[in-house]
Amino acid sequence: MLDLTQIEADKVKEEYPDLYYWAKLFVANAWEEIQMLSEKSEGIHEAALTLRELSADEKIRMQCEAREMYEHDMASAIHKGRTEGKLKGKLEDALNMLKDGMSHDLICKYTGLSEDDINNLK
């Protein structure tokens, strides 16, 4: 494991020059830095070309953003549906317990519903 905040340490530069240049690629802030690093290694050069191609392609970026938004929206919808389904199930259970004559305290205990929730079922 490499701590990217420590890549400027002389030990890393001297003992692991290839690793040092790859780490610098990950913390680069400008294309100029990446260009300079690409001169150090053919692998970094190829990675830099791929990075430039992917970031320059607006269509791919927009597709990635749309996919990310879709996944977020789906996760939110699933969570909301599960939450609503659990509540509906608890309310149905509470209603059946009321019909069976169970006390409000026991219904609250078993369903996790509040006294107000149970009172609203009547």
> Do 65 and 46 share a domain, yes or no?
no
Task: Read off the pLDDT of residues 20-77 as tens digits, 9 standing for 90 and up.
Answer: 777 777 778 788 888 888 887 888 888 888 887 777 777 777 888 899 999 999 999 9
Pair (49, 70) in one structural domain: no
Domain boundary pick from 20, 41, 56: 56
17 or 116: which leads in pLDDT: 116
Domain count, the chain: 2
Query: Do 67 and 50 belong together in one domain?
Result: no
Higher-confidence position of 61 and 89: 89
45: containing domain: 4-56
97: left (phi over 0), alpha (psi -120 to 50) or beta: alpha
- Quote the CA–CA distance of 79 and 8 in Å, as a whole number: 44
Based on the domain organization, do 50 and 64 belong to the same domain?
A: no
* Same domain assignment for residues 72 and 114: yes
What token pair was written down for 53? 């191609």
How high is the mean pLDDT of the chain?
85
Residues 69 and 113 placed together within one structural domain of the fold: yes
Pair (43, 71) in one structural domain: no
Q: What is the pLDDT of residue 4?
A: 66
* Domain identity same for 108 and 64: yes
